[in-house]
Structures are given as C-alpha cells and as structure tokens.
Structure 1
Amino acid sequence: MISFCAPRIKQLALGLSLLGMAWQVSAQTQVNDAWVRATVAGQPSSGAFMTLTADTDSKLLSVESPVAKLVQIHQSSMKDDVMSMQQVESVALPAGKAVSLDPQGYHVMLMNLTAQIKAGDTVPLTLTVENTKGEKETISVQASARALDTMDHGSMDHSKMDHSKM
C-alpha cells in the first residue's frame, strides 16, 4: 500500500506546486512593503501605505478592510505652504513602474476604525485593481502596523470633507 501511495503523493505535490506557480505567473500587480500606521486608543482613523507595481497599465480602484467602516484612497498635496488632502477616484499604475502610496502623496485612509491598531498588529486589506481591458484583479494583503513619527492622518479633521464626491 505504501509503495502505491508514494507515487500519487509525489504527483499531487507536483500538481500543487505547478498550480501555485501558475497563480504567481498570472498575478498582474505586485504589492510590496504594505504597512498601516499604528494608532492610539480612541483614534478614529489611520493610513495604509505600500508600493504597487502592475505588469500592464492599470489603476487602483478601491481598498477594503474589516478594521475600518470607511476606506478611501486619498492624495495629499502641498500648495502655498498648506497641506491638503482629498479623495481620488483611482491611482494610475503605469506598466512596470513602482507607484508608492506614502504619507506625503497617494495613500489609503482607514476611517471610523473598529478598534485600536497597535504596532505589530496585522491589518488585512483587499485591493481592487483594473487594467486597461477592464479586467479586475482582487489582491489580499496583510499589512503590518508600524508606529511612525511623521504626519498624523488619524488626527486630521475629516468631518468637513465631502466624502460623497469623487
């Protein structure tokens, strides 16, 4: 019985490894260095950051996370020494070029948090990317929570922002 099962186990293992390789080859967008800013107790929002590289011209359409009741893609910009932030409909991902989502530019806002995000936590994010053919790709990301001594998105007043417009 054992000699009969061994070849089948090897075939199954080979098949599963080939399936895994095929999945990796079909992936259109790579996500690197995904992280979320840790929060303090009672802080209502945070930011998520990462680097995205798409194989073909694409765009980041949306992000979801169970840690926030509202998730939006924003862009920070400086004009006349005043930092402003606004929601954007999408982020262009030119083929083969790394696009950074960081505190000073495009980033993901996690608002109305369901709980405090502590340094070392893992925050699940689901990204939706669409290529120029209209094909959508869903990417699951596990972002690590990090403390950061920089711009505090969580303390920004979002109450006067019109979140209904894109």
Structure 2
Amino acid sequence: MIIRQTRCIAIMLMLFFSVMACSTISPFNQRAYEQATSLKAEALMLMDKATNPYSEYQSEVESLRLNLEKAYQYAKGLPKNEITTRQFEILKDPGRNSLGGFLKKWEEESALSAGFVEGAAGLISDGFDTIIELESGKRKPEEISNR
C-alpha cells in the first residue's frame, strides 16, 4: 500500500514538472513590463516633436534607440520569451512602419508633417501595447508556484 502511494505521488510530481517544463512562454517579469511602459511614453513624447528639425532632437533619438535596444536585449535574454522578443525586433526595425522606421524617416526628412506623426503614433502605440499586453498577460511567478 505504501509503495503504491509513493509511486502515485512520484508519477504526479513527474507529470507536474513535465507540464511546467513545457511552458511556451516565460512568467511575468516586472522589469520587462516597466521597460516597455516607460519606452512607450518616451517614444510617444519624442514623436510629438518630429514636426521640428531632427537635428534639434538627435541626442534624444539616440537615447531612445539605446533604451529600445536595452529592452530588446533584456527580453531576448529571458527564457521562453520569443514572442515578445520578435515584437521588439519589429518595433525597432528601421525598414518597417514602426518606431525604427519612423525615426529613420524623421532623420532623412528632417521634419515630418503633423498628420504623419499622428498616424504613426497610433501604430507605434499599438506596437508597444502588444508588448505590454504580452508581458502583463503572463502568469506571475507566485501564481505558478502556488499551483
């Protein structure tokens, strides 16, 4: 009887750890969430200035690019975080209609129209929201350990 109970417990533990090991997404990470929300605010505030000459804000743009790269590298270093990492890649890509593309266009054209800035801000805000929602939708570490 005791051997049977021990075997049953061992099987249940193996199943539990197997399921946990097969998780396809990393648990919630407070730092990643804060980076994404801060970057969104920083990016949108800077984008509002894009109707002015790029040269006046070049150092702020470079700072934003650096912070975006830091957030990307942090996300990339987290295990099972490929979806969020891919979203950051899209967001920072200068060849896409995203933040990277917006900053490149601003640099090339010196100043952008208010209509373009407004439209781009909506798209870029949505891109950040995707990252933020991905992170906030993850299970918190305490939720995982309490199961």
TM-score (norm 1): 0.29
- Which has more strand, going by share of residues? 1
**If you compute each CA radius of gyration, which structure gives the higher value, 1 or 2?**
2
- Which has more helix, going by share of residues? 2
